[in-house]
Amino acid sequence: MVKREEARAKARERAIELVSRMTIEERASQLRYDAPAIERLGIPAYNWWNEALHGVARAGVATSFPQAIGMAATFDTELVEAAGDVSAIEGRAKYNALSKENDRDIYKGLTFWSPNVNIFRDPRWGRGHETFGEDPYLTSRMGVAYVEGLQGAEAELKVAACAKHFAVHSGPEAVRHEFNAKATKKDMAETYLPAFKACVQEADVEAVMGAYNRTNGEPCCGSKTLIQDTLRKEWGFQGHFVSDCWAIKDFHEHHMVTHTPEESAAMALQAGCDINCGVTYLHLLKALQEGIVTEEEITEAAVRAFTTRYLLGLFDGSPYDEISYEKVECEEHLAIAEQMTRESVVLLKNNGVLPLNAKEGKTIGVIGPNANSRAALVGNYHGTASRYITILEGIQDKVGHDGRVLFSEGSHLFKDRVEPLAWKNDRIAEAVTVAKHSDVVVLCVGLDETLEGEEGDTGNSYASGDKADLLLPESQRDLMDAVLAVGKPTVVCLMAGSAIDLSIADEQADGVLQLWYPGARGGKAVADILFGDCSPSGKLPVTFYRNLEGLPDFEDYSMKGRTYRYMTGEALYPFGYGLTYSDVEIQSAQVISKGDKADDGNAGLQDAAVKETSFRNIVLQAEVINRGTVDTDEVVQVYVKDMESVYAVPNYSLCAFNRISLKAGEVRQIVLKVDGSAFYSVNDNGEHVFDSRKYELYVGLGQPDARTEALTGKKSVKVDVAF
């Protein structure tokens, strides 16, 4: 990052000089998300608001990737970085072309408000599918990879990434504008903040966005504790901070911590919020007149904003200015998206029904409201594809003339009938008929952005996008019962971005696949997996609970009882779980290196904690064998359990993983590096401490829990580590 640091210093110098030539009115005007042009200085209008959670969004055609939760299921940081690079290239291509047409509208700039690195702590949260799941380590690895892909490795930013929503934000959506999320210092440091810290300190993320809610009493977009003390002073963040959209007006309208728009604008600016997505910063000049903000505070925010614009080359030119519009949705990018879909699909159950054979001339019944749904392909915050391939279409293309594909919608996504004047469950008789006339059934159920998403989002059919429970809509439960009762071999395909109660499918279906929201052309890759052209290899980045029993209230932000690290009950499908079409096993594992011997400077380190962290770096070697007859990818996972510290998480934590490819019969030796920071605990003051000398590491293909062992028939290999 040395090149970036030097470039930032020069960009800041240029920004200071440019801002010095602006009037105070002009400086304040540039702190809006829709910053107007300043023609006398040759500054064009710029809209800061753009989205790219899984491909460039909301500005026309772009390559469509699986939603972020599906990207997380790949456990493939290199591929996630490649997806970020694709989004950056296409974002540049669109910006280069559209700015030449003087189109500087919303969603057409180079500041992308992605990734979402909030922790998916509760399965009811509607926006959880925008995240990388429930685990802070996995989220940090995916977040860093995506940021690095977006921003590039050069001194100049390819595009500017933004880690959101800082911090402690995961519902409920309906009350987010007034909600106070109370989190202990331990939970903050142990769960809610690590991914943000990694994005700042490892990936040098250019922007951070605040959350709507309060955290421990302070509105996040006006929190001195979060923005000044933690983000800038403790972590050394150098970029700009942006509010969530219209969050600052919540200070006086809903949180009631201020009385006027002027006070709210002042509170946010003084806390360090540079860019206002919304209109409250229109009151900054009046706040200045009232003496509650200073000219210096407005100036510093403007300097930070223009530092980013200089780093993007918006005034001096950029090496990315020549990226052609032909890069948008090009074959290379579509191939990366297709690979992402293949790696994201999680096989949850298979009694031998999968893979199907497309050449046997059989009749395949494809049933369900998501089978031919474009909405279920793309999730939310999506772009537009030039072509969509639904699950039905993917199966039809795969079977061709070698068999017959029958289709029934089966039910509405959530209403009790498809046709308004019809009887209740008006498509079930057709679905049952299709099942009876089929040799095998593919039942596609789930949700889409109208049922889980963001409060107030245009695609959301409800005021809040949260789920009331983990059940499928009643219309789909009735459909599943009717189809399974026919008794034909049935594969249930779930298209959803969160944990759903699949107990009936687990008990009665022959196969269960978790497809997430697989991207605009996702039906092709899904068909490849259904028919065995490739083996499924995704792993769950979230716990699939049996039900809500035992989970704390949605409004309770304590981590006790939540996620695989803290839960006490048994999961239906655990975090990290996923089957393949082959038979892979960890044969052995051992420590081959302890301590960071490669760093000759360790002896001179002044920070005792850094010394200790480096001292505890571990390198493992594992022997992996594919005993099966199918080539497959697998994800080798390492979990750590602290055996002594009273502050340790109750269960264990993911601390390393490695996606590998194995030929049938292949034996491989792989190396897994466990960073020394995996061995610290967090005390009640939120401090990272090394107060244990004994640990257990588990190397396996999932968690070292009894449920994963029962589902896979495989045990993790335990490695004792003592310091």
Structure tokens at 532: 């065995």
Helix 136-151 to helix 77-100 angle (10° resolution) is 40
362 vs 529: CA distance, rounded Å: 18
Contact 474, 447 (CB under 8 A): no
Q: Are 163 and 68 in contact (CB under 8 A)?
A: no
d(CA 68, CA 385): 17
Phi first, then psi: what are they for 504, rounded to 5°?
-65, -45
Which residues are 641's β-sheet partners?
696
294-297 LR contacts (CB < 8 Å, sep 24+): 295/24, 297/269, 297/270
| Residues forming beta bridges with residue 709, ordered by sequence position | none
Please list the residues that pair with 718 across neighbouring strands: 698
Chain centroid offset of residue 319 CA: 29
Q: 9 near 304, Cβ under 8 Å? A: no
Strands 632-642 and 681-682: what pairing?
unpaired
Going by C-beta distance under 8 Å and a sequence separation of 6 or more, which residues neighbour residue 103? none
CB atoms within 10 A of CB 280: 29
> Distance (Å, rounded) from C-alpha 191 to C-alpha 273?
24
Alpha-carbon distance of 365 to 373, in angstroms, equals: 16
d(CA 532, CA 303): 55
Tokens of 351: 């009694």
Half-sphere exposure of 212 (CA within 13 A, CB side): 18
H helical segments located in 173-218:
185-187, 194-201
- Quote the CA–CA distance of 250 and 218 in Å, as a whole number: 12
Question: DSSP code of 679?
Answer: G
Q: Where are the alpha helices (DSSP H) in 103-214?
A: 136-151, 185-187, 194-201
Q: Which of 244, 274, 457, 642 is catalytic?
A: 244
Confirm whether 244 is a catalytic residue.
Answer: yes
| Residue whose tokens read 């050394």 | 236
Q: Is 311 helix (H, G, I), strand (E, B) or coil?
A: helix
* Token output for 352: 């031998």
Token readout for 380 is: 């939310």
Using the 8-state DSSP alphabet, how is residue 310 labeled? H
**Catalytic (active-site) positions:** 244
